[in-house]
Amino acid sequence: MEIIIALAVLGLLVLFFIAQYNRLIRLNISVDESFAQIEVQLKRRTDLIPNLVETVKGYAKHEQGTFDAVVNARAKATTASGVADVAAADGMLTQALRGLLAVAEAYPDLKASSNFLSLQEELSTTENKVAFARQFYNDNVRNLNTAVKTIPTSFFAGFAKVTEREFYEVEDPQDRNVPKVTF
Amino acid sequence: MAANDFRAQESANKGKTYFLLASMGLLTGLVAYAALTYFGAGTSTFMVPLAVGISLIGVWGSYYGSDKLVLKMTGAKLIQREDNPELFNVIEEVVIASGLPMPQVAIVVDSAPNAFATGRDPDHALIAFTTRILEVMDRDELQGVIAHEMAHVANRDTLVSAVAATTAGAIAILSDFLMRMMWFGGGRRDRDSSANPVLLIVSLFVLILAPIAATLLKSAISRRRESLADATAVSFTRNPAGLRKALEVLATDSTVVHQKSNAVAHIWIESPLDGKAVSKMFSTHPPIEERIATLRAMESLGN
């Protein structure tokens, strides 16, 4: 009798260990997957850029500075690797594209062209997808980091070779412009 | 963390669902017990599994094939990306935010703005929109509506409502059987003659009232799942204002979907039975003003 109880307890313990271990591995994989999703969306965006720049150039030839900023940011974005680098390049490109769209505002013919309108729709949906992919990645990182730091999963983190992961933080100067409050 | 943010809302609504489902289970147990007291062990051991079985078969079929069945019942037509690329763009955005697989998309030709989600699991999900909702809503509002529908998919609400419907169905069938037996068979055949009369009367009341109680519980579960879907939608988009504005559009619009069947009333984002609902306790959706107020409270938190 005692041996059956002992075996049952042992069995439950093993199941518990397996569950904790698998949870950590699953969380780690979902962080990898969601980072891949960010990269897919960033790639989509960089692919849109040459076409967009050409279209805007057709109407607004004298905005060379803006075009250069976009092209440079795009070049950086295509070579970046690692969470911090990709995030930094992503932020730069987001800024440059904002500049490009601001330029387009000044050219009514351009804004009315069907080519530009469809590019603008593509770009805005891609921007949203990039933003949601970042948010999903950060949520996954948050879940993983919580699991790595809290009991009982924290006991298994070393064994599963799972460590805390880096959040995807985009440098956006606009975010820092906290509205001034005067009394 | 404030008490009204989406995470608190989500866990509160989940907790209430568990409580309501547990109450359903308890009610089933109570009915089975009442049957046992009233008719004795012989009849009940046969009747209870039979009622649960019939209900299970009926509901399981409609749950398993829900995506196809609902298409038939609502007259929705599946569409592909080429048919409406902009709608697909917005859906893909929410899909990325939710981490769910891409659902099937369908359109219902109808002059009322409305939408629904169904499917037995996220891999067989279907979301549908009326032609009107696509006309009246801007991108942000549509994103909110899509997020609400994807939230139903994420929360497995087809499964939850199937469980609720099975239990309510079993209770209805069981109490119907037993009531008939009472009128026609004289009942109490194998009853122990020394049974407590008070217990007998209580059992009779339980049998009469159980179907109504089960319907009330089913509606309460549906209302909790709607509130939960609103909260989960905000966790996807982090933009309560979009869904709030969408609900305001739905609230001001008085047209209702011309649906072919009332059986699918509970799946729409805005209940098509609003005007007809007997009372708040039987309605499948929380009052739309209440949903708007909850979302407004989330907006003020800035998340």
Mapping DSSP to helix (H, G, I), strand (E, B) and coil, where does residue A34 land? helix
What pLDDT score was predicted for residue A13? 93
- DSSP string covering B63-86, please? HHTHHHHHHHHHT-EEE-GGG-HH
The interface predicted TM-score of the complex, written ipTM, equals: 0.80
- The count of CB pairs under 8 A between chains A and B is 29
pTM above 0.90, yes or no: no
- CA B263, B166, B189: angle at the middle one, nearest 5? 120
Whether residue A34 lies within 8 A of chain B, CB to CB, comes out as: yes
Selecting among B10, B86, B92, B149, the annotated active-site residue is: B149
Closest-CA distance of chain A to residue B32, Å: 34
Q: Does A136 touch chain B (CB under 8 A)?
A: yes
What is the tens place of the pLDDT at every residue in B89-121? 999 999 999 989 999 999 999 888 899 999 888
In chain B, residues with a C-beta closer than 8 Å to the C-beta of A125 are 89-90, 92-93
pLDDT-based confidence at residue A180 (cuts at 50, 70, 90): low
CB contacts, 8 Å: A133 with chain B: 96
CA distance B142 to B134: 8
Say yes or no for a CB contact (<8 Å) between A135 and B90: no
The answer, for A42 touching chain B at a CB cutoff of 8 Å, is no
Q: What is the pLDDT of residue B144?
A: 95
pLDDT in tens, B166-188: 888 888 888 888 777 776 655 45
Q: Is A30 touching B (CB cutoff 8 A)?
A: yes
Q: In chain A, which residues have their Cβ closer than 8 Å to the Cβ of B94?
A: 132
> Is there a contact between A121 and B89 if contact means CB atoms under 8 Å apart?
yes
Q: Which of B96, B140, B146 to mutate to test the interface with A (most CBs of A within 10 A)?
A: B96
Give Cα separations from A114 to A36, A55, A109, B188 (angstroms).
Answer: 32, 11, 10, 80
* Residues of chain B contacting residue A128, judged by C-beta atoms under 8 Å apart: 93
Quickly list H helices, chain A. Answer: 2-59, 64-79, 83-105, 108-112, 114-149, 153-157, 173-176
- For residue B128, pLDDT over 70 is answered with yes
Inform me whether the pLDDT recorded for B269 exceeds 70.
yes
% residues pLDDT > 90 (chain B): 31
* Tokens 């009853």 -> residue: B191
Please state, in angstroms and rounded to a whole number, the distance separating the CA atoms of residues A107 and A75: 26
Could you confirm whether B248 is annotated as catalytic? no
- Structure-derived torsion over alpha carbons of residues A33, A37, A40, A41, reported in degrees to the nearest 10: -170
| pLDDT tens digits along A125-177 | 998 999 999 999 999 999 999 999 988 888 888 888 888 898 988 866 555 55
Q: Judge: B99–A128 Cβ closer than 8 Å, yes or no.
A: no
In which element (H, E) is residue B148 found?
Answer: helix B139-154
Q: Which of A30, A129, A135 sits opposite B92 (nearest CB)?
A: A129
Chain B residue numbers with beta carbons less than 8 Å from the beta carbon of A122 are 89
Q: How far is A1 from chain B (nearest CA, A)?
A: 34
